[in-house]
């Protein structure tokens, strides 16, 4: 992203796809189903809805913008970078984290809808992940739905 409109990025997003060349990242114990993003100056607040063995849990974390290209840093050696978005239908994020002394990177594909995938976003995600292990999973979204309903 050259110039990210941070305010337009805010709101609800449902995770639809994940891509990484590290299989551990593709099958986490705490599966992300949805996000609710809120911008306040250079801070990004992320409310995350997890599915943990069938139970929903919501976590909140605040990060700071590193630069104007859509890169944010969070506690615990984590970063999120917005790679592509049309703001209304899809967003593709690169999540980086350090765990047990190793760096992990994952591309995540999100849509605004609880049911549908955004076609343009899907093809863009496929394009960006052509050389990466790919894990597409339109998750049931029960936890994402709870997050969206909580915030409406």
pLDDT digits (tens, 9 = 90+) for 35-94: 999 999 889 999 999 888 888 999 999 999 987 678 999 998 899 999 999 999 999 999
In a domain, 120, yes or no: yes
In a domain, 1, yes or no: no
Residues in Cβ contact with 137 at an 8 Å cutoff, skipping those fewer than 6 apart: 16, 17, 18
Q: pLDDT (tens digit, 9 = 90+) per residue, 84-138?
A: 999 999 999 999 988 778 888 889 999 998 887 767 888 888 888 887 766 665 5
CA distances in angstroms from 15 to 66, 99, 100, 118, 139, listed in the order given:
24, 22, 25, 12, 8
In a domain, 56, yes or no: yes
Range of the domain at 93: 6-151
Read off the pTM. 0.86
For residue 45, what is the domain's CATH number? 2.40.128.20
Q: How many domains does the chain have?
A: 1
């Amino acid at each position: 992203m050259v110039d990210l409109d941070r305010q337009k990025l805010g709101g609800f997003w449902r995770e639809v796809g994940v891509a990484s060349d590290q299989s551990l990242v593709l099958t986490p114990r705490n599966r992300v189903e949805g996000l609710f993003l809120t911008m306040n100056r250079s801070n990004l607040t992320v409310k995350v809805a997890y599915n943990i063995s069938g139970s929903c849990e919501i976590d909140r974390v605040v990060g700071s913008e590193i630069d104007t290209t859509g890169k944010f840093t969070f506690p615990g050696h984590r970063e999120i970078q917005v790679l592509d978005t049309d703001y209304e239908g899809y967003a593709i994020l690169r999540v980086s984290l350090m765990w047990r002394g190793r760096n992990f990177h994952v591309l995540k594909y999100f849509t605004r809808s609880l049911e549908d995938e955004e076609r343009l976003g899907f093809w863009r995600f496929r394009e960006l992940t052509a050389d990466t292990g790919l894990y597409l999973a339109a998750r049931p979204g029960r936890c994402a739905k709870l997050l969206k309903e909580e915030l409406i």
